[in-house]
């Protein structure tokens, strides 16, 4: 049951283009701070730690889902869009969080999961009752083939067919993820209107924007055409692990449909009326960069999107970054990307790329100098590694499905560590929902505070540098030049120019940037020009 409290309209005032070049800190609420001893983080815990987040120098926070949910996919299966799950607190707790964030100058973005709901959502409960009724067409239902098999060959990101049988309707329903996450039918205008009302509800409560989950999954092909096969050489594991046959299809018809653009325009008009902004997650292994560009072109779609190019399994090298920006410039030059190395779905980049602290500093320096906005994931500023979670402690259904070849997403979701001399890192007084790795304790916040040349202080310094130089947030960017492992480019804005050279290797190098510049291992140079 949704408990209503007094709604407020109090977005943080200021620059309407605040999102352009913003640095956004992602908080995974289950793992940030527990205040009631149940081993699960909560909204009050986030509020308690906001001073730390503001002290990093970020512009906004993105909070992963905290809505009412059966938690089959840890909040990405919503059963009530307008309430807080009791494990996280109440709407009053959320209002207090927004108030405190705004007092600290932080904008608040929340994670909206619009492509699907939980099968326990009242909408689906009504839709499943029969083929007639107000919400009969709110989800994607389809008749079986004459032999009773599924309507087409579409596959689920989480494994197996994307179709589940429902005997009550004698039809299949579409689920791009778990079978308990039925897909909404965006071809129905009533569904679109209902979801826009959900966004309006949270805008009225004072949120400054949204992270939009799986933004390219909203619409499906009306004709339910089969996806074509994808050549083996084109497969990669940026969206799903290679052991998942989802990678064997070119998903032309199960997502990325052209009708999505008009819905995004509606969503943008709503946000503009509140001065809000959104960053969309584009989940596509073949055309992610181009879709990101398409969804952010002009001023009437999404403000920002991110693709999975910087979430790559292999370490990004200078030539890789230069090629990504060259593709972006060639296809959609006015697109606005949001870059991230880590998030709640991917192994932490410290481990993926086997980075030392010095290397991690250099990659952060690069990130702070790029055209676009930035998402940081909680704990990366401490250099937290990917945790090795045993099967008995595993929570993620994705990992359980493909174990042991793929161990799921729990390794990047372990609790934030605040205190080194505490078995749970100061996260909880109870048993944490995921174990706290022993090697994380040495990197706890109180330990990092005392390291003047440590990674945490480097994050603060580079965030302060970016804020002090608007050219890095809003400026144009020249074509990139990769000389071996060194990446060179320029940023310019309102008469100011910065020349950037970043050495993405452990070998010293010399490059020509307004003269010869010597770069040590993992060295970087930022030169001010006119």
Each residue's pLDDT tens digit, 320-338: 999 999 999 998 888 999 9
How far apart are the C-alpha atoms of 95 and 75, rounded to whole Å? Answer: 19
> Would the pLDDT of 72 be above 80?
yes
**pLDDT given at position 372:** 97
**pLDDT given at position 209:** 98
Percent of the chain with pLDDT over 70: 98
**pLDDT given at position 331:** 86
Q: How confident is the model at residue 529 (pLDDT cuts 50, 70, 90)?
A: confident
Q: Which of 281, 345, 386, 485 is catalytic?
A: 281
> Would the pLDDT of 15 be above 90?
no
pLDDT digits 0-9 by tens, 118-141? 999 999 999 999 999 999 999 999
What is the phi-psi region of residue 518: left when phi exceeds 0, alpha when psi lies from -120 to 50, beta otherwise?
A: beta
pLDDT digits 0-9 by tens, 96-113? 999 999 999 999 999 999
Q: How confident is the model at residue 4 (pLDDT cuts 50, 70, 90)?
A: very low
- Tell me which residue has tokens 């990504």: 324
**pLDDT given at position 7:** 39
Say whether the peptide bond before residue 404 is cis (omega within 30 degrees of 0). yes
Averaged pLDDT score across all residues of the chain: 95
Q: How confident is the model at residue 1 (pLDDT cuts 50, 70, 90)?
A: very low
Which helix (H) or strand (E) segment holds residue 87: the answer is none
Helix axes 260-272, 288-296, angle to 10 degrees: 50
Q: Which of 73, 213, 380, 410 is catalytic?
A: 213
pLDDT digits 0-9 by tens, 344-389? 999 999 999 999 999 999 999 999 999 999 999 999 999 999 999 9
> Would the pLDDT of 16 be above 90?
no
Which helix (H) or strand (E) segment holds residue 510: the answer is strand 509-512
pLDDT digits 0-9 by tens, 227-267? 999 999 999 888 999 999 999 999 999 999 999 999 999 99
pLDDT digits 0-9 by tens, 168-193? 999 999 999 999 999 999 999 999 99
- Cα separation values, 507 from 283, 316, 480, 510, 522, Å: 35, 16, 20, 10, 7
User: Does residue 43 contact residue 94 with C-beta atoms inside 8 Å?
Assistant: yes
Q: How confident is the model at residue 10 (pLDDT cuts 50, 70, 90)?
A: low
Q: What are residue 377's phi and psi, to 5 degrees?
A: -105, 135
> Would the pLDDT of 2 be above 60?
no
- Tell how strand 486-493 and strand 516-519 pair up: unpaired
Better-scored residue on pLDDT, 515 or 264 = 264
pLDDT digits 0-9 by tens, 267-283? 999 999 999 999 999 99
Give strand pairing partners of 212: 112, 280
- Is residue 281 part of the annotated active site? The answer reads yes
Q: How many helices (H) and strands (E) does the chain have?
A: 15, 20
Task: Name the residue among 92, 73, 80 with its Cα closest to residue 8.
Answer: 92
> Would the pLDDT of 530 be above 70?
no
How far apart are the C-alpha atoms of 141 and 316, rounded to whole Å? Answer: 42
**pLDDT given at position 8:** 44
**pLDDT given at position 9:** 45
**pLDDT given at position 76:** 98
How far apart are the C-alpha atoms of 131 and 241, rounded to whole Å? Answer: 36
What is the phi-psi region of residue 186: left when phi exceeds 0, alpha when psi lies from -120 to 50, beta otherwise?
A: alpha
CA atoms within 13 A on the CB side of 264: 32
Give strand pairing partners of 142: 172
């Amino acid at each position: 049951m949704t408990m209503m409290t007094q709604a407020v309209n109090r977005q943080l005032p200021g620059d309407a283009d605040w999102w352009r070049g913003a640095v956004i800190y992602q908080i995974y609420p289950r793992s940030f701070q527990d205040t009631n001893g149940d081993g699960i983080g909560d909204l009050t815990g986030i509020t308690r730690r906001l001073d730390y987040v503001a002290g990093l120098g970020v512009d906004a926070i993105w909070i992963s889902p905290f809505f009412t949910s059966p938690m089959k996919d840890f909040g990405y299966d919503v059963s009530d869009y307008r309430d807080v799950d009791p494990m996280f607190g109440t709407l009053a707790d959320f209002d207090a969080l927004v108030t405190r964030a705004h007092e600290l100058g932080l904008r608040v973005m929340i994670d909206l999961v619009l492509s699907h709901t939980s099968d326990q959502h009242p909408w689906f409960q009504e839709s499943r009752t029969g083929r007639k009724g107000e919400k009969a067409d709110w989800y994607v239902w389809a008749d079986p083939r004459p032999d009773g098999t599924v309507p087409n060959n579409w596959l689920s990101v989480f494994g197996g067919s994307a179709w589940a049988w429902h005997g009550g309707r004698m039809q299949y329903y579409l689920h791009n993820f778990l079978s308990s996450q039925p897909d909404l039918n965006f071809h129905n205008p009533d569904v679109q209107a209902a979801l826009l009302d959900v966004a309006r509800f949270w805008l009225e409560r004072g949120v400054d924007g949204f992270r939009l989950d799986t933004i390219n999954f909203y619409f499906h092909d009306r004709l339910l055409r089969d996806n074509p096969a994808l050549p083996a050489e084109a497969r990669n594991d940026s969206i799903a692990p290679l052991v998942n046959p989802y990678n064997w299809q070119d998903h032309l018809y199960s997502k990325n449909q052209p009708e999505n653009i008009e819905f995004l325009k509606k969503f943008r008009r709503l946000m503009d009326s509140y001065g809000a902004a959104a960053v969309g997650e584009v989940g596509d292994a073949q055309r992610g960069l181009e879709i990101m560009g398409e969804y952010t072109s002009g001023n009437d779609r999404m403000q920002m999107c991110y693709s999975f190019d910087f979430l790559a399994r292999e370490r990004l090298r200078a030539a890789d970054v230069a090629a990504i920006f060259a593709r972006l410039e060639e296809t959609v030059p006015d697109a606005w990307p949001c870059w991230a190395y880590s998030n709640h779905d991917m192994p932490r980049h410290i481990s993926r790329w086997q980075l030392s602290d010095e290397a991690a500093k250099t990659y952060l320096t690069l990130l702070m100098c790029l055209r676009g906005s930035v998402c940081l994931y909680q704990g990366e500023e401490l250099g937290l590694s990917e945790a090795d979670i045993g099967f008995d402690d595993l929570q993620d259904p994705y990992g359980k499905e493909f174990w042991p070849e793929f161990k799921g997403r729990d390794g990047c979701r372990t609790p934030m560590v605040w205190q080194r001399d505490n078995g749970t890192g100061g996260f909880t007084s109870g048993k944490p929902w995921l174990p706290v790795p022993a090697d994380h304790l040495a990197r706890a916040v109180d330990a990092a505070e005392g390291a003047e040349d440590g990674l945490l202080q480097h994050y603060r310094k580079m965030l302060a540098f970016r804020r002090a130089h608007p050219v890095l947030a809003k400026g144009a960017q020249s074509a990139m030049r990769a000389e071996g492992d060194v990446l060179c480019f320029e940023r310019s804005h309102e008469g100011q120019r910065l020349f950037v050279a970043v050495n993405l290797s452990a070998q010293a190098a010399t490059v020509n940037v307004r003269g010869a510049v010597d770069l040590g291992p993992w060295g970087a140079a930022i030169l001010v020009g006119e």
